Structure 1
Amino acid sequence: MRSFGDVLDKNNGVGPGFDFARVFLALSVLLWHVLLMSRGNYEPLISTPAWIYNYSILPMFFGLSGFLVAGSAQRNSLTVFAVNRGIRIFPALIVEIALSALILGPIFTAYPLTEYFTHPTLYVYFLNMIALVNFKLPGVFLNNPGGQVVNGSLWTVPFEFLCYFVMAFIIVKKIINKPKALLITAFAVMFLATVAQALAHMLPQSFYVEKILNAYIHSGKGPALLPCFLLGAAAFSLRYKIPMDWRLFAGSLLVVLLAGIFFEPASWENTFLVVIFAPVLIYIVCYVGLLQIPRLPYFSKGDYSYGIYLYGFPIQQALVASSEYFKNSWLLLIASVITTVAFASFSWHCIEKPILGQRKKVTAWFTGWKAKEQPASSAA
């Protein structure tokens, strides 16, 4: 029977369905946020077994990321890995935060512009660029059903950074090709995350503690993301031992459906429970990523998934704030998909792709700088 590794080898190391999987997950986030923006909650779907679809999106996203990033970590040095991750994440993130603060905010704020631009909340918002999450801009979206949050999707940014820091540690310790060590690391992190989740309420309250809790706990969902990422990385290391079997795929879908029937959304905020189900979710998304799925006509022009994820939330909030018509969920869905994909296209073609095109030059510069510094460090 073919394995995940066999399929990757046949396709020169590229999963033919991974582009589809990324876009599908990004659009799934957009779909669920429509309910929050238009209704102020996730009803009526959250009260049905469909809730599991919503709560599985991010564990699958992080598991898929771990699977793909592990390949890069095996091929590259720590310096190259860090540079590649940095230029993939930061440029689009910085531009989105700047556009929200300097263009979207002034358009939709209820405050006079002089007050908006002198308000401390505006400048605190830029801390999102360094993974200190802040959701609000002064006077923006005061009357939206979804609340005053400008971009709720940013809550996952600290976890993404954390995943890359841990992967850097794994590269340094040379355990990227050791599946057992990766699995032990994943379950150790799960244990620590579960403990942190349980003890979070016991910490003394302060501005900085609140920032850390908002960043790394976030309603109980966050601590499971790093273990899912590491399990995805372990799956890549075990790729020649994981069968590409439609029966396992169908069985995994059935397990998820049963979880949706027999569990409730509140139970999914338990890190331990999510990680128990994580291997099933990771198998599903990796199986889809390795299928021969033709690229969608428009989406074949670039990787728009990151832009969709970044821009979807603020665009939906802006649409709802601009017209009462967009409190209709279907109208909001159609308008937000079109607008968000347009902004994601802008992000890819004008920011992400051009900067990624300079990756070799940036990597060479960092590698050369490190080589020049090395003798001085050794002499010292």
Structure 2
Amino acid sequence: MDGLFKDIDILPTQTGQYNIMNTIKPDNRANNFDFLRLLFASLVVFSHAFALTDTSPEILSKYSYGQLSFGGLAVDVFFIISGFLIISSLKQSKSIKNYLWKRCLRLFPALFFMLIFSCIVISIVYTGNNIFREKDFYKYFFDNMTLYKVRYSIPHVFENNPYPSAINGSLWSLSYEFTMYIILLLAYKFKENKKILLTFLISAYLLAVYGQFNTAMLKTFFSEIHLDTSQLYRLASLFLAGSILRIIDIKALNRLSIKLVIFFLIIVTIQFRVYNYFSIILTPTLIILIGLSYSATLNYIPSKIGDLSYGIYIYGFLIQQLFMNYLDLNPYLLTLYSLIVTYILSYISWHLIEKKCLRFKNRF
């Protein structure tokens, strides 16, 4: 999902030396989105480590009264950033075909090679008689390549793990991300008209918010493509909030005092156990304001290693299950070991697959 993964059209500069956290540099494309993606992709691995070692509750879940987890918050952040960035991609696209091509190019090549790697791992850890006679082995690859028919398990794979059978639980969100790309296409014809575009985005946002309280809305339709409406409407509201914040001018809000106030309000909503009602407004605003700022310190590592966020997200769960197949680890050691391996795989994925494929973004 592109919320994890930056659109090549809006790469931040690597040469700018800005040290003021609250300075907005949209024209120079210097921002904190690389750092945020890397941080939250890593937090997904950390969060999964608790479930995959059968250790509960996860730290953030414990202190937020079950309203939040690092993994859930990370996915929310990915969708917020994605909405902010993809609306720019839509505006810059030469045609609908060009827009869809860029979106597919960003998701599918890395996913293809990750699933090839997964099949190799599966064949190694398989404990049945003959992996090549397992119909689900072949379905695992092809079903997951569709995004919408996610297959999580194959018989005799990871069945004795603390979290049994699941091969890659992170793949569920990709279909929701791609669905948001399709929904944005409805705005393509008036992408240059700011008022109409903003009206469309706000209307869609309000509809998504309403859907969170009425999940039966279009439930039959979305169930046909394997989407859960409670998840869809929540993630859609965050994605669209990010898009709205891209269209409107929020430069005046990008002050440290404003960000601290919003953060304080988020803490208050958590303490009063009403975070879910206010998160669709407060969290997108805070994340985009932090993203629009620029810190050379925060972006030092992302600038050196590249955009590994997508790779971390799609490889992390598998690597964690692989470790747990052979070792008895606590969540902290599992996080450490799996992040090392996942970062290496993600580095290879970015530099040898994702980055090279993006050179063809204007082919159509």
Counterpart mapping for 1:73-88 below 5 A? 73-77=90-94, 78-88=96-106
* Matched position secondary structure for 2:161: coil
Aligned residue identity for 1:23: L
Deviation at 1:297, TM superposition (A): 3.1
Deviation at 1:258, TM superposition (A): 2.2
The answer to whether structure 1 residue 223 and structure 2 residue 253 are counterparts is: no
Identical pairs, percent: 26
Distance 1:179 1:199 in 2: 24
| Moved segments of 4+, more than 6 Å | none
Structure 1 match to 2:178: 161
Q: Deviations over 1:54-77 (max 9, x none)?
A: 232222210111001111112223
The answer to whether structure 1 residue 98 and structure 2 residue 126 are counterparts is: no
The answer to whether structure 1 residue 130 and structure 2 residue 146 are counterparts is: yes
Q: What TM-score do the two structures reach when normalised by structure 2?
A: 0.83
The answer to whether structure 1 residue 148 and structure 2 residue 174 are counterparts is: no
Structure 1 match to 2:198: 179
Which of residues 131, 134, 141 is equivalent to 1:119? 134
**Structure 1 residues 292-301 or 228-237, which shifts more?**
292-301
Q: Deviations over 1:76-128 (max 9, x none)?
A: 2322211111101110112112221x21111112212x2x2222222322211
Structure 2 match to 1:290: 292
* Matched position secondary structure for 1:349: helix
Tell me: CA distance 1:349–1:60, structure 2 relative to 1, closer, same or farther (3 Å): same
Structure 2 match to 1:366: none
Aligned residue identity for 1:148: S
Structure 2 match to 1:71: 88
Distance 2:167 2:83 in 1: 28
Note if contact 1:190-1:223 (Cα within 8 Å) is conserved in structure 2: yes
Note if contact 2:41-2:309 (Cα within 8 Å) is conserved in structure 1: yes
The answer to whether structure 1 residue 252 and structure 2 residue 262 are counterparts is: yes
Aligned residue identity for 1:184: S
Distance 2:216 2:38 in 1: 31
Note if contact 1:175-1:181 (Cα within 8 Å) is conserved in structure 2: no
Structure 1 spans left out of the alignment, 5+ residues: 1-5, 364-380
Q: What TM-score do the two structures reach when normalised by structure 1?
A: 0.80
Structure 1 match to 2:315: 311
Aligned residue identity for 2:146: I
Tell me: CA distance 1:123–1:42, structure 2 relative to 1, closer, same or farther (3 Å): farther
Tell me: CA distance 1:144–1:222, structure 2 relative to 1, closer, same or farther (3 Å): farther
Deviation at 1:187, TM superposition (A): 1.1
Tell me: CA distance 1:66–1:17, structure 2 relative to 1, closer, same or farther (3 Å): same
Distance 1:146 1:79 in 2: 41
Cα RMSD (Å) of the superposition?
2.7
Note if contact 1:40-1:146 (Cα within 8 Å) is conserved in structure 2: no
Deviation at 1:197, TM superposition (A): 5.0
Q: Quick check: which one's helix share is greater?
A: 1
Distance 1:18 1:179 in 2: 23
Distance 1:56 1:175 in 2: 32
Structure 2 match to 1:27: 42
- How many residue pairs match? The answer is 335
Distance 1:169 1:199 in 2: 18
Note if contact 1:8-1:290 (Cα within 8 Å) is conserved in structure 2: yes
Deviation at 1:255, TM superposition (A): 2.1
Structure 1 match to 2:17: none
Note if contact 1:59-1:278 (Cα within 8 Å) is conserved in structure 2: no
Larger Rg: 1
Structure 2 match to 1:89: 107
Structure 2 match to 1:353: 355
Deviation at 1:7, TM superposition (A): 2.1
* Matched position secondary structure for 2:215: helix
Tell me: CA distance 1:277–1:87, structure 2 relative to 1, closer, same or farther (3 Å): same
Deviation at 1:181, TM superposition (A): 2.5
Deviation at 1:175, TM superposition (A): 7.3
Aligned residue identity for 2:165: Q
Deviation at 1:315, TM superposition (A): 0.6
Tell me: CA distance 1:280–1:64, structure 2 relative to 1, closer, same or farther (3 Å): same
Note if contact 1:40-1:145 (Cα within 8 Å) is conserved in structure 2: no
